[in-house]
Structure 1
Amino acid sequence: MEFTENPWKTLTSTVVYDNNWLKIRHEEVVTPANTPGIYGVVSFKNKAVVVVPIDQDGYTYLVGQYRYPLDEYSWEVPEGGAPVGTDLLESARRELKEETGLEAEKWTMIGRIHTSNSATDEEGFLYIAEELSQGAHEPEETEQLQIRRVSLADAVDMVMNSEITDALSVCALLKVARLKQI
């Protein structure tokens, strides 16, 4: 038996928080077991764009920054937000340039993911950027970034050793490793 229809029923939906980046809804529902329940949903106002840049030597570029919600430093691939309705590839190009100064001639979309689908509607789009050229990076004023050039194999090792824990980066790097047979 295949379950494709939504077994949940929404009775009420109230926005309890709203800012420039996300909104949170409190919903009263009827569950698939036909019992009353509640659900909290975080809706993002941007799609996530994630870029694994690969240079002519097979190296990639990681971005290091302090992540306030986690209260820890994080190594990630370049990533950022694409306002809903905007061109995803253009947003990916912008994020790569802002965070690393890199520009790419060749772009390949390699997938789409949901980061935490039990509580949020966040959707990420994964790209490989190749045929790179270097310019000056232009980080946002809230970003204090470090850039690290590492082999793809070393980046995958960082994922496997939990040195890279950002879900978007983990997914993108493992997908690239599989595609490139690393």
Structure 2
Amino acid sequence: MESNPWKTLKEEKIYENPWIRVENHQVLNPAGKEGIYGKVHFKNRALAIVPIDENHDTWLVGQYRYTLDEYSWEIPMGGGKIDQDHLESAKRELKEETGITAGKWTEIMKIHTSNSVTDEVGYIYLAEELSFGATEFDETEVLKIVKLPFQEALEWVMAGKITDSISVAGILKAARILGY
């Protein structure tokens, strides 16, 4: 195991809301020189799901992303409290965004979303043995749901139509698992 070459001299909270905390760190870098490091701490886990039915169809969710100022196609995803079971949170997110419940769940990936500036950890699941019901969108969500062959979702990734990093990673990993 590698040792940490960074030394934290001082931490200062710059900003905080219910989802994130932004910190400024005074550090000694690996060369032993003083410097600064900014960190965004996430208060939730990122959870994403690749739902696959018996015909190898999947579901994507489209929404306008405020931070990007553009529309984004993604696999169903959301957040789960750090102290809660991430599988149960993933099940809730899939149901809320698509109305889908799954009888079989497989964790296919743990991912760090942007490890140079944040400590956010995500978990990606493959959901199978699907059943369908009503969606339960959050008040901040205006979502479009599209069902398409998994092969087409993979093509959307390769063509750059899906750019969300967790969605790209999840679809590529699922493709490998499913033999595409």
- Shorter-chain TM-score category? over 0.9
Query: Which residue does 2:142 correspond to in 1?
Result: 144
- Which of 83, 99, 102 aligns to 1:104? It is 102
**Cα distance in structure 1, aligned partners of 2:19 and 2:8:** 24
**Cα distance in structure 2, aligned partners of 1:111 and 1:137:** 25
1:71: how far off? 0.3
1:5: how far off? 0.4
* SS of corresponding position for 1:96: helix
**Cα distance in structure 1, aligned partners of 2:33 and 2:174:** 43
* SS of corresponding position for 1:86: coil
Residue 172 (structure 2) pairs with residue 181 (structure 1):
no
* SS of corresponding position for 1:70: coil
Q: Residue type matched to 1:122 in 2?
A: E
Query: Which residue does 2:19 correspond to in 1?
Result: 21
1:126: how far off? 0.8
Identity of aligned residues (%): 54
Residue-by-residue CA offset, 1:107-164 (whole Å, 9 max, x unaligned) = 0001100010000001000100000011000110110000001111111111111100
Q: Residue type matched to 1:78 in 2?
A: P
1:181: how far off? 1.1
* SS of corresponding position for 2:117: coil
Query: Which residue does 1:77 correspond to in 2?
Result: 75
Q: Residue type matched to 1:67 in 2?
A: R
Residue 162 (structure 2) pairs with residue 164 (structure 1):
yes
**Cα distance in structure 1, aligned partners of 2:150 and 2:122:** 21
Normalising by structure 1, we get a TM-score of 0.98
**Cα distance in structure 2, aligned partners of 1:159 and 1:84:** 29
- Which of 35, 38, 44 aligns to 1:37? It is 35
Runs of 5+ unmatched residues, structure 1? none
- Which of 116, 119, 126 aligns to 2:117? It is 119
* SS of corresponding position for 1:94: helix
Q: Which runs of 4+ in 1 moved over 2 A?
A: none
Normalising by structure 2, we get a TM-score of 0.99
**Cα distance in structure 2, aligned partners of 1:165 and 1:181:** 22
1:42: how far off? 0.3
1:75: how far off? 0.3
* SS of corresponding position for 1:157: helix
**Cα distance in structure 1, aligned partners of 2:2 and 2:77:** 31
1:32: how far off? 0.2
* SS of corresponding position for 2:80: strand
Runs of 5+ unmatched residues, structure 2? none
Q: How many residues align?
A: 180
Residue-by-residue CA offset, 1:89-112 (whole Å, 9 max, x unaligned) = 110000000000001000000110
